[in-house]
Amino acid sequence: MFFRILSKRMLILLKWVHPVIVGFVLAGCSSVVVIPPLEGLPPDAPEQRIKITAQKYRFEPETIKVPIDTHVFIDIESLDVIHGFNIERYGIEKEIPAKGRGTVTVEFYTRERGTYKFKCSHLCGIKHPWMNGKLVVE
Ligand SMILES: [Cu+2]
């Protein structure tokens, strides 16, 4: 009798807890919702071009401020080794060639205000995990 009650209660508990656990697992897998970088870009959007440099272990400038509703181009050049440039929010992922091997450009349309992290996505040395910056759309 006791086991019957217990198992019935456990079944009810599992029925309600199970979707919560699945929800947490899914949330952990996709914490950032990606906006396609040029989604919603109107043909007459104002443009802004920004140059940044990458070197062990920082981007210069570390904070980029751009206005909303703008077609932004970021030209990135390395001052030493190969780095990477990633903005998870826009699904942007580019390799930046080593010094003297050219500049890489990424572009996106700023549809939403907010502060988004950008980071180096190419293992460049011991402090690589801390090589990141902020994109502020205002
Ligand atoms: Cu790096």
| Mean pLDDT, contiguous 10-residue spans, the chain (138 residues) | 61 57 51 88 97 98 98 98 97 98 98 97 98 98
| pLDDT value of position 33 | 87
**Ramachandran sector of residue 132 (left: φ over 0; alpha: ψ -120 to 50; beta: rest):** beta
Cα-to-centroid distance, 99 and ligand 1 (Å) = 14
| pLDDT value of position 92 | 97
Q: What values do phi and psi take at 84, rounded to 5?
A: -130, 160
Cα-to-centroid distance, 73 and ligand 1 (Å) = 21
Cα-to-centroid distance, 85 and ligand 1 (Å) = 9
- Residue 99, Cα to own-chain centre: how many angstroms? 24
Around ion ligand 1, residues with a beta carbon closer than 5 Å are 120, 124, 128, 131
d(Cα 52, Cα 89) in Å, to the nearest integer? 19
Smallest CA-to-CA distance from 119 within 58, 73, 49, 35 is with: 58
Name the β-bridge partners of 84: 95
Structure tokens given for 131? 């090589």
Neighbours of 127 (CB within 10 A): 11
Query: What 8-state DSSP symbol labels residue 33?
Result: P
Alpha-carbon torsion (30, 33, 34, 36), positive or negative? positive
Question: Which strands sit side by side in the sheet containing 114-119, from one edge to the other?
Answer: 63-66, 132-137, 114-119, 83-87, 92-96
Give the start-to-end residue ranges of the domains of the chain. Answer: 1-31, 47-137
Q: Is 34 helix (H, G, I), strand (E, B) or coil?
A: coil
CATH class of domain segment(s) 47-137: mainly beta
| pLDDT value of position 50 | 98
Cα-to-centroid distance, 83 and ligand 1 (Å) = 5
